[in-house]
Amino acid sequence: MRGVADLNLCADPVELTAALIDIESPSHHERPLADAIEAALHTLEGVEVIRTGNTVVARTHHGLGQRVVLAGHIDTVPLAGNTPHRIEDETLYGCGAVDMKSGLACYLGAFARLSAPGASAVDLTLIAYECEEVAITDNGLYHLERDHPELLAGDIALLGEPSGAVIEAGCQGTIRVFVEARGVRAHSARSWLGDNAAHKLAGVLTRVANYSPRRVTIAGCEYREGLNVVGMDGFVATNTIPDAARLTINFRFAPDRSVEDAKAHLVDVLALEEGLELVFDDVAPGAMPGLDQPVARDLVRAVGGEVRAKFGWTDVSRFSTLGIPAVNFGPGDPGYAHKVDEQCPTEQIRTVARVLGEYLAAR
């Protein structure tokens, strides 16, 4: 492809991460990086490469009986003057360093090295997808799940989200709702002429503040639920009784709850008074750990048995809904994601690359 950057997928994983960072790819602007990844994958012999939008899928077909899916998003949050990359004190800095071009580099490198016949004990699928950091309807994995679910098929899926080079299993589900109140606007000096909408939310605020979140252990992983007010709006002015007020509430639930169970629990806890309206704004299911599957147990052994629950929602949920065990496994501290000083220890990048290679080759 004319004008496409060259990527050496078999380079040292730190060098490959640096190269990926230097091909800037904020959401909706991933084409140069997608082009470079596609071109590099086409150099591998006997590999099927499929392009849809700015999502690139590559698969081996060696008839090995099991398939492992390696998935990672290629987009980043908007740039903040943090490209090109730099390396200081064994730490790689740059936009996407932790979320998730380091994990993507590890997965691209593992696929490239193990795609040849006899190199891996399993068939491999590599998915490098666009628009994870923005609306769900733009997410490349969402489009594959909807339009080409066969491309997601496998016995286990690994996502390169930052997890500190240990397995973070499953993920929490999430529900975001609005609680809306209506009243009558008036001057605050004559408040008896109005009806304060904000005051009608006092009961809901109290119940959320007093809520005792559940902890549940699944397959050795402890998930911690949370119910929190994350937004308040609808006010008019400091001298005006508001005629409308709204709370935004987020419920993070353990993956042993279905979406319907989580919705019902949330409705019971909020116990809205008459006149208040509950609006569901965003709902996503959780994902069970799936560590009881043989193909997952081998991965747990490869990382030395260190496993923990994933706090937050990731695209492992998409695989879980298809009945495919999925885990998060990538280098770096997720606390640095989206920060101006986004960074990842080079040692963790090499550790994840090594473990992936050992796991896929030894099975």
Catalytic residues, which ones? 75, 132
Q: Retrieve residue 40's tokens.
A: 């590099």
The contacts of residue 12 (CB under 8 Å, 6+ apart) are 350
Among 180, 188, 70, 182, smallest CA distance to 125 is for 70
CB of 79 closer than 8 Å to CB of 29: no
Token pair 């936009």: residue? 95
Among 282, 293, 286, 350, smallest CA distance to 325 is for 293
Task: Report the distance separating Cα 31 and Cα 27, nearest Å.
Answer: 10
Provide the 8-state DSSP code for 78: P
Task: Report the distance separating Cα 234 and Cα 248, nearest Å.
Answer: 11
Among 72, 163, 171, smallest CA distance to 352 is for 163
Q: What angle, rounded to 10 degrees, do the helices at 13-22 and 102-114 form? A: 120
Among 137, 112, 125, 139, smallest CA distance to 54 is for 139
